[in-house]
């Protein structure tokens, strides 16, 4: 009888297992695929490796403005893919080592919940049955499919298949203008493809601040990406994508079509129904501590459908284990940052001004171009970044920070910490930012609200 059995070895699963093992809980982890889940093997890490490589390529070609002239610059996809694979395998081995060091037993196989027992749960995997006092479900998510004629053809791919292409396509159509679609659009455009993004909504970036989204669209258009907004794909023919917009039908040729229309939680195929766990909108319903309606069963990561991001999964995993150990903890979802790793990057945390107003708050907003910042101006040429800081007019609490430009992913955590701690713009004015850094722009923008 284990203290904890974890189903799924993605960000939530392996983080929870490690934390539980270090805390002294006898822990058993079952993973049907590769440790690290989608994020490590098919998403976050491999895509960011590709994006960094193409960023270097783009910088080398456009470095004349900085007094550097590079000749004969080329992009070797074979080397890039090899680097991607090496990075993934190194990190995967690191996870396996850490789990072993934390005394977590692992099993490679498909889990099947057999039901509850007196004081616990029974789960089968790889021909063996294990029992545990507690169960943590971290089965993650899977790419949603596009239900149109022709979507099953070999050149129509998801984020999984496109990470293994052996050549840069001349023409690629990306269906979906969310984070994943935009990142791959950015990669292929800078690698030399002619890229078209078809998005059903009137703006890109999903929940991204609309002004930030519009500015990001303009920057990506500079790289040659074409956007077809408020457009819906109706069919995929022989390397031809048909879509509808404003009541008119149009066609675009494509060597590759990338389907990136969202992800959905994996809640079927492993016996969850035997426990009577409550689902809501196709996801496991949890509270702020990760608890389900069934005593002794928790869920974390994409499977709860709340915030489908790897770093959210890490945080939820710790909250779940803390709850199992009797330590008060909960996840503040308003302090979860999100990033789109295009060039330039977009990063945000907290509420937009419109979101805050919809909640009945009295938001005020400060806006600054990033060219106000010395470090940004010194290191970019022609890029037009921006920042929005949203605060509550009455309390002065910082409600949200939204940025476009440079490597803003590396500083958005500071804004997340401000929101997590409930700091005000006056509190922020006492923080000393190193000079010259891009991070200073957060303090400069907030100062306009004092």
Shortest CA distance to 18 belongs to which of 42, 41, 36?
Answer: 36
Tokens of residue 228, six digits: 């077809």
**Paired residues of 174 in beta bridges:** 197, 258
Interatomic CA distance for residues 99 and 328, integer angstroms:
25
Decide: 45 and 182 in contact? Cβ < 8 Å. Answer: no
Residues 6+ apart with CB under 8 A from 358: none
Give residue for tokens 């690191």.
94
- Find the radius of gyration of the CA atoms of the chain: 23
Give residue for tokens 């890029």.
383
- Edge-first strand order for the sheet with 398-404 is 338-340, 346-350, 398-404, 386-392, 363-369
Tell me, what DSSP letter sits at residue 104?
E
Decide: 54 and 60 in contact? Cβ < 8 Å. Answer: no
- Helix 11-22 × helix 310-324 angle, to 10°: 30
Catalytic residue among 14, 19, 343, 435: 435
Q: Where are the beta strands (DSSP E) in 254-373?
A: 256-259, 263-265, 279-280, 283-284, 297-299, 338-340, 346-350, 363-369
DSSP symbols for 203-259: SSSTTS-HHHHHHHHHHHHHTT-EEE-SEEEEEE-SSEEEEEETTEEEEEE-SEEEE
- Which 3 state secondary structure label does DSSP give 299? strand
Interatomic CA distance for residues 118 and 122, integer angstroms:
10
Is 402 one of the catalytic residues? no
- Find the farthest-apart pair of alpha carbons in the chain and give their distance in angstroms, rounded: 72
E strand or H helix that includes residue 196: strand 194-198
Decide: 34 and 136 in contact? Cβ < 8 Å. Answer: no
Angle at alpha carbon of residue 315, lines to 320 and 123, rounded to 5°: 40
Query: Residue 294's CB: how many other CB atoms inside 10 A?
Result: 16
End-to-end CA distance of the chain: 58
Q: Which residues are part of the catalytic machinery?
A: 435
């Amino acid at each position: 009888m284990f203290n904890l059995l974890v189903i799924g070895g993605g960000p939530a699963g392996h983080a929870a297992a490690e934390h539980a093992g270090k805390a002294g809980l006898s822990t058993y982890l079952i993973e049907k695929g590769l440790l690290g889940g989608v994020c490590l093997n098919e998403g976050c890490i491999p895509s960011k490796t590709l994006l960094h490589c193409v960023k270097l390529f783009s910088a080398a070609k456009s470095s004349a403005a900085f007094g550097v002239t590079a000749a004969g610059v080329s992009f070797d996809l074979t080397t890039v893919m090899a680097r991607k694979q090496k990075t993934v395998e190194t990190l995967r081995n690191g996870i396996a080592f850490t789990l072993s060091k934390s005394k977590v037993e692992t099993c490679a196989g498909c889990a099947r919940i057999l039901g509850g027992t007196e004081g616990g749960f029974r789960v089968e995997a790889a021909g063996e049955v294990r029992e545990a006092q507690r169960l943590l479900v971290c089965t993650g998510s899977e790419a949603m499919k596009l239900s149109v004629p022709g979507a099953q053809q070999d050149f129509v791919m998801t984020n999984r298949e496109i990470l293994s292409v052996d050549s840069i396509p001349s023409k690629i159509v990306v269906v979906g203008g969310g984070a994943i679609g935009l990142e791959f659009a950015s990669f292929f455009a800078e690698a030399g493809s002619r890229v078209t993004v078809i998005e059903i909504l009137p703006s890109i970036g999903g929940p991204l601040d609309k002004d930030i989204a519009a500015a990001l669209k303009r920057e990506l258009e500079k790289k040659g990406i074409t956007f077809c907004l408020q457009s819906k794909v109706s069919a995929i023919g022989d390397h031809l994508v048909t879509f509808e917009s404003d009541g008119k039908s149009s066609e675009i040729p494509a060597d590759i079509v990338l389907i990136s229309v969202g992800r959905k939680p994996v809640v079927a195929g492993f016996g969850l129904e035997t426990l009577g766990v409550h689902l809501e909108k196709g996801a496991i319903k949890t509270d702020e501590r990760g608890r389900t309606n069934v005593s002794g069963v928790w869920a974390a990561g994409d499977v709860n459908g709340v915030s489908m991001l790897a770093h959210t999964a890490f945080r939820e995993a710790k909250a779940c284990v803390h709850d199992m150990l009797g330590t008060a903890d909960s996840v503040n979802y308003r302090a979860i940052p999100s990033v789109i790793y295009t060039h330039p990057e977009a990063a945000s945390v907290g509420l937009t001004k419109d979101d805050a107003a919809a909640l009945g708050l009295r938001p005020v907003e400060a806006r600054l171009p990033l060219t106000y910042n010395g470090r940004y101006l010194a290191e970019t040429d022609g890029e037009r970044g921006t920042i929005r800081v949203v605060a509550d007019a009455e309390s002065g609490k910082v409600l949200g920070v939204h940025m476009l430009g440079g490597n803003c992913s590396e500083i958005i955590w500071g804004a997340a910490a401000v929101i997590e701690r409930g700091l005000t713009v006056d509190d922020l004015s006492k923080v000393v930012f190193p000079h010259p850094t891009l991070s200073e722009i957060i303090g400069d923008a907030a100062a306009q609200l004092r």
